[in-house]
Amino acid sequence: MTSSDENSDESDETDDSHEHDHSHDHFDREHSERDEVSDPSIAHDGSVAQLSVPDMDCPSCAGKVENSVSKVEGIKEIEPQVTTGTLTVTYEADITSTEAITERVEKAGYTVKNSDEVTEKFSVPEMDCPSCAEKVTKALDNLDGIATAEPHPTTGKITVTYDSATVTGSDISAAIEGAGYEVTDTTAQQGNKDNSESGDSIWRSRRAIKTWISGVFLAGGLLLEFFLPGENIQVASLLGSDLVLADALFLVAIALGGHEILRNGYYSLRNRNLDIDLLMSIAILGALVASVAFGEGLYFEAATLAFLFSVAELLERYSMDRARNSLQELMDLSPDEAVVKRNGGEETVPVAEITVGDIVVVRPGEKIPMDGTVVDGESAVNQAPITGESVPVDKSEGGEVYAGTINEEGYLEVEVTATASDNTLSRIVEMVEDAQSNKTEREQFVERFSAYYTPAVVAFAILVTIGSPYLLGTTWPTAIVYGLTLLVLACPCAFVISTPVSVVSGITSAAKNGVLIKGGNHLEAMGEVDAVAFDKTGTLTKGELTVTDVIPLNGNSEDDVLRCARGLEQRSEHPIGEAIVAEADGASVAEREISDFESITGKGVRAELDGTDHFAGKPGLFEELEFDLSHVHATTEGGVVTDTAQSLCDRHNCLDLLEETVPELQSEGKTVVLVGTDEELEGLIAVADEVRPAAKQTIARLQDLGVKRTVMLTGDNERTAQAIAEQVGIDEFHAELLPEDKVTAIEKLTDEHDGVAMVGDGVNDAPALATATVGVAMGAAGTDTALETADIALMGDDLGKLPYLYELANDANGVIQQNIWASLGVKAALALAVPFGYAPIWLAVLAGDAGMTTAVTGNAMRLSRIRPPEDSGAETISSGGSHR
């Protein structure tokens, strides 16, 4: 789409002229300005490693990893992303390496998942006994790059996880066959396609099983201690303290439920990271020491902590995976394999092996695997996964298609134009992942606050433990329990996670609905916008000229007028001429023989049609041919006079073109072209850049949602700008602007309002987009420049998505505030209640930790339910030929 930045010195004639000397009128000017803006260059300072750390799923985990990695010399920047389980590290390659960074992550107690890791299942029917399985496993032990090999003799299969950069599936098959067993089939799955466990697997994991068994022993101890005291016999003595059967059961519960906690606490202590794992480890060990050394009998409290916190960790992992899966849905849009035409036939290959220029075959109901151009076939394609369009788009030869979209009904052959790692879907996924690095102001505040919160609560725990026996008259065992409870509340996990999980939910929800938000800071800023500026051409209008009115004169019909106009214009490359030819083609009017074509500079064109001179152009051209334009006979039979042109004389059914018809059409933002011979004026054609069907509804909806001011910035002339502004309901407009004038207008708006959004085409409006608080690019699917220049991109050419974006951003800001204050409020209330005995330790674990983490995650996931309206104004677009 083009954007309107027309040359002001020609604007006075734009709507009442038809120039065919190909000078730079307003449409030509728009096209030339698009090319003046080049892609911004991005300077990279240092090497960047992105590691997958799936178990890094909470702020304390991220802090532990960050502290460990920061000890490596040559590290410049560390960005842990809890919501995706990834760690991005910028480092100096001549000082350190990815291997050194990976080692430090593992020393913090976390496993780095290899992005090249592949899990493949091999069918080995003859491997039907344990000795066979052992033989195959030993054969694989001799290969480098094998991570795990799990044989299943009962099914005749072996599952192998390996580094694809070191060893291949063919190498593994050869090794198995070298052991004497035939491989009949293989299935591969990229390790990075599934970084997160399913909800079911989390609850059946090794830690979950240990947790459930821990709960059984805890329940047994509770039963003996409180309901069957007669059976609670002494079983041992520790340092002079009696150990009863219930205490023994509690100790087993601690060993099972607290194993992972104490392990993680060790790594936290080793990296000097005061996080929840270290605090819980101190609480559990503190209770045990008090029980054994001082006879305080806090085995029950320690077991309760171990079990409940382990449950809390599982809940947190489950909640986090729900957020991660929202992004995984984007990744799963593209199929893993595709049918490619090669060597005179068709073969199915992994998408990673498809190269630019290959021809892929897409049958009805299949996903399109790669970006490309249709070279054969016709079909309707559901582009909703990429652009959010609710209506399938017709595709034919020459049409552009995107990976992840769905072929609805026809057969297509697509020539690949981008590799799997560089297609539109891959760029969207990459930008959504990167968006989490751009922290919102609230997120930065939370991180600063949390740095003081934990030490403050730990200090408060020490004061309560020491002071409550003296000030509140509590016993020492009770004081110790109070202190342990406050240690549980000292980690602000739910508080810290409240913002990023909301940002991830909002950004991924937007991406699935065709809106790409390139950072949490832009999502936050969009929700605080109270003024929106729009470009005109290609934004509020379609950016393509179309015929709006055909007025036959002097007994001619509409077909007669279009037939002559098409003959005159078909040799013209001017946008107005192209619009007339397209209209005539659509009306299927007969062709005329054309010869002796001539462009009349600044006025119009002349040509012989079937041997007779004909003209098309400005009203001024026909005045020079000595026509009386104030007294022209209108066609009342055999043709249709439009409502906008029914200004008839009192006598003889005449039109006054100069004083009434032409000015009235021009007041509606239309350009007028007259058609005729040197003896007869045959008709009038009005051409305009049509307003988008969604424009008026979009402006009204934005105003209903709270936008205080809407402004149109255009290079078009005053008259056209006023007509469009009135038609769509814009509050104010500024016309005849150059690109630098748009920047000045945006700067003035930002001085008057807290937040200003600029909506344009993302190319020639780049300076204004960059100046606004938030820049929103229209129709960015497949357009590299638009994806780079804007803060937010509407992937489809649908202006109706703008109110959805504004509503989503507002709701996201509301959810973030709710999460922050709810998590902080619950923690504060529990902490203040502890010294007075109103907050038992189990409540601190369940409500203060697991409960709030689950609650803020669930609240954030509500954003995924916000959808753009089905009737947002999207138009059915045909791709592959001309479309209007």
Per the rule left: phi > 0, alpha: psi between -120 and 50, beta: everything else, 872 is alpha
User: What is d(CA 201, CA 554) in angstroms, rounded to the nearest whole number?
Assistant: 81
User: What is d(CA 582, CA 589) in angstroms, rounded to the nearest whole number?
Assistant: 11
- Pairing relation of β-strands 709-713 and 531-535? parallel
pLDDT band for position 23 (cuts 50, 70, 90): very low
**Which of these, 538, 23, 569, lies nearest to 13 by C-alpha position?**
23
The stretch 115-133 carries a mean pLDDT of: 70
- 778, β-bridge pairs: 794
Is the pLDDT at 41 greater than 70? The verdict is no
Burial of 417 (0-12, 13-18, 19+ CB in 10 A): middle
pLDDT at 850: 65
Predicted structure pTM score: 0.60
> Which residues, 6 or more positions from 867, have their beta carbon under 8 angstroms from its beta carbon?
513, 804
User: What is d(CA 436, CA 318) in angstroms, rounded to the nearest whole number?
Assistant: 20
Burial of 644 (0-12, 13-18, 19+ CB in 10 A): middle
User: Does the annotation count 171 as an active-site position?
Assistant: no
pLDDT at 389: 52
pLDDT at 122: 86
pLDDT at 384: 59
User: Do residues 397 and 382 make contact, with C-beta atoms less than 8 angstroms apart?
Assistant: no
> Which residues, 6 or more positions from 59, have their beta carbon under 8 angstroms from its beta carbon?
82, 275, 450, 492, 493, 496, 497
455-504 tens-digit pLDDT: 888 888 889 889 888 888 888 888 888 888 888 787 776 777 777 778 87
E strand residue ranges, 239-343: 241-244, 337-342
**Which of these, 734, 744, 731, 833, lies nearest to 536 by C-alpha position?**
734
pLDDT at 521: 82
211-254 tens-digit pLDDT: 899 989 989 988 887 778 777 777 777 656 677 888 889 899 98
pLDDT band for position 115 (cuts 50, 70, 90): low
- Pairing relation of β-strands 878-879 and 393-395? parallel
- The average confidence (pLDDT) of the chain is 76
pLDDT at 46: 65
Q: At residue 769, what are phi and psi to the nearest 5 degrees? A: -60, -40
More confident residue, 883 or 57: 57
46-71 tens-digit pLDDT: 678 878 888 887 777 888 888 889 98
pLDDT at 359: 92
pLDDT band for position 807 (cuts 50, 70, 90): very high
- 879, β-bridge pairs: 395
pLDDT at 121: 79
Is the pLDDT at 867 greater than 70? The verdict is yes
pLDDT at 32: 35
pLDDT at 632: 61
Is the pLDDT at 635 greater than 70? The verdict is no
Cα 621 from chain centroid (whole Å)? 53
- The tokens for 132 are 């066979």
Q: At residue 828, what are phi and psi to the nearest 5 degrees? A: -65, -45
> Which residues, 6 or more positions from 873, have their beta carbon under 8 angstroms from its beta carbon?
692, 693, 694, 695, 697, 698, 798, 799, 800
Give me the DSSP letters along 383-405. Answer: -HHHH--SS-EEE-TT-EE-TT-
Is the pLDDT at 45 greater than 90? The verdict is no
The neighbour count for residue 462, using CB atoms within 10 Å, is: 13
**Local structure of residue 56 (DSSP, 8 states):** -
User: What is d(CA 499, CA 501) in angstroms, rounded to the nearest whole number?
Assistant: 6
Is the pLDDT at 113 greater than 60? The verdict is yes
User: What is d(CA 272, CA 347) in angstroms, rounded to the nearest whole number?
Assistant: 56
The stretch 620-649 carries a mean pLDDT of: 58
The stretch 127-136 carries a mean pLDDT of: 66
User: What is d(CA 276, CA 278) in angstroms, rounded to the nearest whole number?
Assistant: 5
Kindly provide the b/e burial profile for residues 661-695, where b requires at least 16 CB atoms within 10 angstroms of the residue's own CB.
bbbbbbebbbbbbbbbeeeebbbbbbbbbbbbbbb
**Which of these, 594, 607, 561, lies nearest to 580 by C-alpha position?**
561
pLDDT band for position 20 (cuts 50, 70, 90): very low
pLDDT at 532: 94
The neighbour count for residue 528, using CB atoms within 10 Å, is: 16
pLDDT at 729: 92
265-314 tens-digit pLDDT: 787 777 676 766 777 788 788 778 777 766 667 788 788 878 877 876 77
521-557 tens-digit pLDDT: 888 889 889 999 998 877 888 877 888 888 888 778 8
**Which of these, 147, 128, 117, 162, lies nearest to 136 by C-alpha position?**
128
pLDDT at 749: 93
**Which of these, 185, 174, 181, lies nearest to 123 by C-alpha position?**
185
The stretch 694-705 carries a mean pLDDT of: 91
E strand residue ranges, 247-351: 337-342, 345-350
Is the pLDDT at 4 greater than 90? The verdict is no
**Which of these, 254, 255, 231, lies nearest to 300 by C-alpha position?**
254
**Local structure of residue 508 (DSSP, 8 states):** H
pLDDT band for position 644 (cuts 50, 70, 90): very low
pLDDT at 877: 33
pLDDT at 697: 92
pLDDT at 360: 92
**Which of these, 209, 41, 33, 192, lies nearest to 112 by C-alpha position?**
192
User: Do residues 55 and 73 make contact, with C-beta atoms less than 8 angstroms apart?
Assistant: no
**Which of these, 130, 314, 151, lies nearest to 846 by C-alpha position?**
314
pLDDT at 185: 76
User: What is d(CA 49, CA 191) in angstroms, rounded to the nearest whole number?
Assistant: 18
pLDDT at 374: 92
- The tokens for 738 are 């150059």
Is the pLDDT at 814 greater than 60? The verdict is yes
User: Do residues 416 and 395 make contact, with C-beta atoms less than 8 angstroms apart?
Assistant: no
User: What is d(CA 267, CA 808) in angstroms, rounded to the nearest whole number?
Assistant: 40
Distances (CA, A) of 532 to 694, 712, 755, 769, 792: 16, 9, 9, 11, 14
- The tokens for 191 are 């390790």
- Residue 282 parent element (H or E): helix 276-294
Q: Which of 25, 275, 371, 535 is catalytic?
A: 535
Which range has highest mean pLDDT (400-404, 451-455, 619-623)?
A: 400-404
Instruction: Write a three-state SS string for 683-710.
Output: EEEEEEEEECCCHHHHHHHHHHHCCCEE
User: Do residues 839 and 830 make contact, with C-beta atoms less than 8 angstroms apart?
Assistant: yes
pLDDT at 510: 84
